[in-house]
Structure 1
Amino acid sequence: MSLPWFYPDRVSVAPGDELAIHASAPPGLYHLKISRVGSTNELKSTVEDIVIDQGEIPANVESCGCSWPVVLRFTIPADWKTGYYDLYLAGADGEGTHHFFNLKPGPGKPRARAAIVLATNTYQAYNYWGGANSYAHVEKLMRGEVDAAGSEQEAKGRLSRMRPYAQGLLMPRLGQPRLVNPAPRELGMAAHPATPEWMAEHQPSPYDFSACFVGKWEHAFVCWAEENGVELDYFTDQDLEAGAGILDPYRAVFLVGHSEYWSASARDAIDSLHEAGGNLIVFSGNTAYWKIRWEEDGQVMAVHKWRGESDDPLWGTPEEGRDGTHMWSHPAFGRPEAEMTGLSFLYGGYHRLGLCVGRGSAAYTIYDDKHWALEGTDLYYGDCIGGDIPLVGYENDGCPIRVDRRGLPVPDGGFGVPDDLSIIALAPATLFEDPAAPYPPIVPPGDIAILARIAHGEDNPVNRERLQHGHAVMASFRRGNGEVFNAGTTEWAHGLAAGDPYVDRITRNVLTRFGVPIGAAD
């Protein structure tokens, strides 16, 4: 452990709060650089001559945390702007590691009309520092000690945030590609995500692409927002544990990229937002798929996932409907994510990832060309957008569909899908690769029996086949006293980063309708 490793005591702080830094390193003096990361990186402070000693890595550190001593306490200046802040701890040779914190607005002081909620629960679920995350024992998989199935058996159901981050996940290597097949696969060739040459050179973990801020979806959206004068206040998933009304002052709230893991308190905050007349803008895919809870004063995330029914100690207690962990669409909770977002990954899936629609166009096909979100786009029925980005890729949310008498797609049931959902555009998606294909699988299929039972009421061959025939859906609907727009894909922010005129205009239409000013930069 020759590098300095560290973690802050909190995910999110306000101006005037004190942040404590816990660290372990070869004995010596170190410095900490604090930078705000947005459309530019702004160095805000450097703390010199931090004394650090070597600490131990406890057994089961992924679940128990490091318990390292505090080496620095830092008070956040009152004039620092809300946003994502990178922490870089390094020695005299400049070699170091990164962590982060979020700076939220001070109590009762919203500065902007809109807020973004950073998907820090998802960051936590993917963090494999110490060896394992909520998916697998990643380090054993990378060392070749176990195969993919064996690594998944060692996934953790409890994850401590009191530890460092795997650096490939938190701070991408230069040139890291997106997690999507860059082009449709050729005849007879196995599909491959990303760039084979880059992958061979850097040997990243398969989990490095799926979460965190820098160089990924939220960062791309923030850059677009700052360059276009869209002011945002920043919160994290964990901030939503504080109370249901925390988002009520905002006209709109953004979820961007891969906001996959949600607690009951976070769902309550969005319900309260809608009752207060606020709006939800979902530029995310696989949104609110897994139900989690925070334990030990917010230090440990319980995320038993597929094993919730067997491993979660709250399963079967009177609290199960609120605090048990599994898929949000599990009927035990009576609160499917589609009630909040309009869509679900259960009815969508992957596009241009492995063999999951591996030759897909990566474009949305427009159906409801009269929808308000398309005003001024010059788009008409059957037009396709975003294929060159790719706009539809990685993970996508959808709903069961049927064709009405007008020849247009409309929702056809689905657990929690609202009847008044307006479908704007579609693209094919699937939850897993064809098991009969002759190519090595890339996409973990999950527990297909559970998926079929939850999505369609029973595990049988017909319902398993239905899981393979999903759709990415762009849609909107009214909820409470507010409204929801859902882009239905993880990749929407990359459309903005690419300067796609259709994605840009649709985004502006959504912001204008939902009361978010554009072009009011400081």
Structure 2
Amino acid sequence: MIAFYTDRLSACPGEPVQIFASDDSGGPCTLEIARVGADRRVFDTVAGIAPGHHPTPDNADTAGCDWPLAHTFTIGSDWPTGYYDLALTNAAGERWHHFVCVRPARGEKTAKALLVLATNTYHAYNYWGGRSAYCDVGALMSGRKRLPDAMAGAIGVLSTRRPFPQAIIAAPDDVPRLANLRPRGFGERPWASDPTWRLRAQMTPYDGSAGFLNKWEHRFVEWAESEGIALDYATDRDIECEPAMLDGYAAVMVVGHSEYWTAGQRDAIEAYVDGGGNFAIFSGNTAFWKVRFDDGGASFICHKWRGFEDDPAASADAAQGTHLWSHNAFARPEAAITGLTFLFGGYHRLGLCAARGQGGYTVYDSLHWSLAGTDLYYGDLIAPELPLLGYENDGCRFTFGSDGVPRAVPTLGVPENLEIVAIAPCAFGEEPGSPYPPIIPPENLDIIARDVFGDPAYATSPGIIRGHAVMASFRRGRGEVFNCGTTEWAHALAARDPFVTRITRNVLSRFGID
């Protein structure tokens, strides 16, 4: 078997990247470095790398692999910014993938827009060595534990010094979307995505939720490059470590599943928007969890639901805790910067969550600037046949005005000046008491009711799981935020849906990306 990881996930031209590898084939390995966008372009090939075989420690998921250095390469001065696939092939023909985000040269910008890769989400789902922030995946897939017990084995300290599972970081081109492409039939048992494909590919329930290749970010980049839209690239960690890098961009954007944010990353994006920057969110479940890095970036801290019980740093300083951004201890719900929250949204066309859902947004504010030239009017559905909606979606509470347009209820950080464009029902969890076995892992509604809403009794209210996906925008400081409200937006762009394409172009044009 061959596997490897790097000392960093991003680098600028002229900077070194170190590879730490293990291979039991006994022969030399070849490294291929290729930028992946609308096409795959190889920038370097290095032969004769001999990593040798090194065991994976039992605690690799929390403490890392500590493998010796196998090779160092330098980012070329002529390598354009982007996502670079690193593929190491051994003498037996086995191949392992990792990646590096190539940023523009320090102090330079090559585009008006910055795409922030959701690498914190990659870390949270990484179960190399057995466990992730979600589950003891190794025990689940081997059959040693059933799902509830395996989920109880999730870890809150995750090493960044280990490989990524290949189904996360190098999914095949035909990996299915995290959405049921058709409504559930009468009396039909609920399902999630394409269970037959996943069983055949031996994918875990967590493989589809993170990663670039053939997932949301890749699909968005393919579309952008085909439209002639230039992008600079950075990672979540870059934004935290170098917040000034945002200065001067007309727009910053996140795509797909930007679920995990550090305090430093959030500080940087808020300062950028308040100072006049534009923030485009083509994502769902955005900024849901507060996380942090320790040990100079070697440890990713993500205790999730046990963010205060299991974290010594949180005991000393609540601000260091890792939990829901909407937790009352932080007094800083994510909707204050995103406009929306997963707590008021949920799932669509997945399991029993809106299993017969409409699949697209219903337009309410047809005069909103994002719909200019779309030929969309009040009551129209946006891309239901794709479907546009699926997997995870963000929303808000609202009432209706006398003009029939929904008005945001300013609660849990949702801004009063939020302009709601379109909505669709979704669910934060599956209905209790149904005759079907649950598919979506249940959220900890008791913790949400107590620590977010301050009312333990709310955990049993139907309203806690009944929500809406929302597309909206709002002004903040001297800047503006647009939020598409769903993870699945990029798939609609990949399908060349004319309505979603025009809306996206309207957002980019308003935000100075022509």
Q: Identity over aligned residues, as a percent?
A: 50
Which amino acid letter does the alignment assign opposite residue 308 of structure 1? Answer: G
Deviation of residue 174 (structure 1)? 4.6
SS for the counterpart of 1:496 is helix
Match of 1:10 among 8, 11, 22: 8
Kept after mapping to 2: 8 A contact 1:246/1:269:
no
Q: How is 1:167-186 mapped onto 2 (pairs within 5 angstroms)?
A: 167-186=166-185
Aligned to 1:20: 18
Q: Are the counterparts in 1 of residues 88 and 95 from structure 2 also a CA contact under 8 Å? A: yes
Kept in 1, the 8 Å contact 2:58–2:129? The answer is no
How far apart are the structure 1 equivalents of 2:362 and 2:472? 12
- Give the corresponding residue for 1:204: 203
- In the alignment, the residues of structure 2 paired with residue 173 and residue 154 of structure 1 have an alpha-carbon distance, to the nearest angstrom, of 28
Question: Residues 7 and 162 of structure 1 are in contact (CA less than 8 Å); yes or no, is this contact kept in structure 2?
Answer: yes
Answer yes or no: is the 8 Å Cα contact 2:348–2:393 preserved in 1.
Answer: yes
8 Å CA contact 1:243–1:265 kept in 2: the answer is: no
Matched residue SS, 1:297: helix
**Residue 111 of structure 1 corresponds to which residue in structure 2?**
110
Task: Give the distance between the partners of 2:422 and 2:240, measured in 1 at CA.
Answer: 34
Give the match for residue 446 of structure 1: 443
User: In the alignment, is the contact (CA less than 8 A) between 1:414 and 1:455 conserved in 2?
Assistant: no
Which amino acid in 1 is paired with 2:429?
Answer: F
| Alignment of structure 1 residues 20-419 onto 2, 5 Å | 20-26=18-24, 27-317=26-316, 319-321=317-319, 323-419=320-416
Residue 520 of structure 1 is matched in structure 2 by none
Residue by residue, what CA displacement relative to the aligned partner does 1:105-152 show, whole Å, maximum 9, x if unpaired?
A: 111101111000000000010011111110001121111111110001
| Superposed displacement of residue 60, structure 1 | 1.3
SS of the residue aligned with 2:171?
coil
Q: 1:183 to 1:161 in 2, by over 3 A?
A: same
Give the TM-score normalised by the residue count of structure 1: 0.96
The whole-number CA distance in structure 2 between the counterparts of 1:304 and 1:88 is 32
The separation in 1 between residues aligned to 2:71 and 2:359, in whole angstroms, is: 47
**Which sections of structure 1, spanning at least 5 residues, go unmatched?**
518-522
Contact 2:338 2:481 in 1 (8 A): yes
Q: Which amino acid aligns with 2:78?
A: D
Distance in structure 1 (CA, Å) of the matches to 2:380 and 2:478: 32
2:427 maps to: 430
* Paired residue secondary structure (2:505): helix
The CA RMSD measured in Å over matched residues stands at 1.2
Determine which of 469, 484, 500 is the counterpart of 2:497: 500
Offset from partner CA, 1:271-314 (integer Å, 9 cap, x none): 12113311000000000000000001011100000001201112
Structure 1 Cα separation of the partners of residues 183 and 380 of structure 2? 20
Q: Letter of the 1:279 partner, please give it.
A: N
Amino acid at match of 1:434: E
Calculate the TM-score normalised by the size of structure 2. Answer: 0.98
Asked if the contact 2:348/2:354 (under 8 Å) is kept, the reply is yes
Alpha-carbon separation, structure 1, partners of 2:454 and 2:410: 12
Give the 4+ runs in structure 1 shifted more than 3 A. Answer: 461-464
**1:454 Cα deviation from its structure 2 partner:** 4.1
Partner of 1:488: 485
SS of corresponding position for 1:339: helix
Moved more, 399-408 or 12-21: 399-408
1:23 and 1:468 map into 2 onto residues whose CA distance is 45
Q: What SS is found at the alignment partner of 1:81?
A: coil
Q: Which moves more between the two structures, 9-18 or 174-183?
A: 174-183
- Quote the Cα distance in structure 1 between the aligned partners of 2:243 and 2:52: 41
The answer as to 2:417 corresponding to 1:420 is: yes
Shift, 1:342, TM fit:
0.3
- Aligned residue type for 1:347: F
Letter matched to residue 148 of structure 1: L
Written as runs of structure 1 = structure 2, the 5 A alignment for 1:449-468 is 449-461=446-458, 464-468=461-465
CA-to-aligned-CA distance 1:143-187 (integer Å, 9 cap, x gap): 111111000111010111110111111111352211111211111
For each residue in 1:313-343, what CA deviation from the matched residue of structure 2 results, as whole angstroms up to 9, or x when unmatched? 12232x322x211000011111110011000
Deviation at 1:419, TM superposition (A): 0.3
- Structure 1 counterpart SS, 2:502: helix
For the Cα contact (< 8 Å) 2:103–2:233, is it kept in 1? yes
Alignment partners' CA distance in 1, 2:195 and 2:397: 35
Please report how far the alpha carbon of residue 56 of structure 1 lies from its aligned counterpart in structure 2 after TM superposition. Answer: 1.8
**Could you give the per-residue CA deviations for residues 197-229 of structure 1, whole angstroms, max 9, x where no partner exists?**
323322210111101000000000000110001
Q: Which amino acid is 1:444 matched to?
A: P
Q: Tell me if structure 2 keeps the 8 A contact 1:178–1:194.
A: yes
Which is worse superposed, 146-155 or 404-413? 404-413
**Aligned to 2:247, what secondary structure does the other structure show?**
coil
Between the aligned partners of 2:359 and 2:138, the Cα distance in structure 1 is: 32
Letter in 1 for 2:418: L
- Tell me the distance in 2 between the aligned counterparts of 1:462 and 1:148: 22
Counterpart amino acid of 1:506?
Answer: I
Unaligned runs of 5+ in 2: none
CA drift at 1:92: 2.4
Aligned partner letter, 2:470: V
Determine the C-alpha separation between the residues in 2 that align with 1:512 and 1:86: 30
Q: Larger deviation: 359-368 or 457-466?
A: 457-466
Residues 83 and 104, structure 1, Cα contact 8 Å, conserved in 2: yes
Write out per-residue CA displacement over residues 319-371 of structure 1, whole angstroms, 9 at most, x where no aligned residue.
322x2110000111111100110000010000101000011011100000010
Cα contact 1:191–1:354 (8 A) shared by 2:
yes
Secondary structure of the 1:424 match is: strand
Find the aligned partners of 1:462 and 1:15 in 2 and give their Cα distance: 51
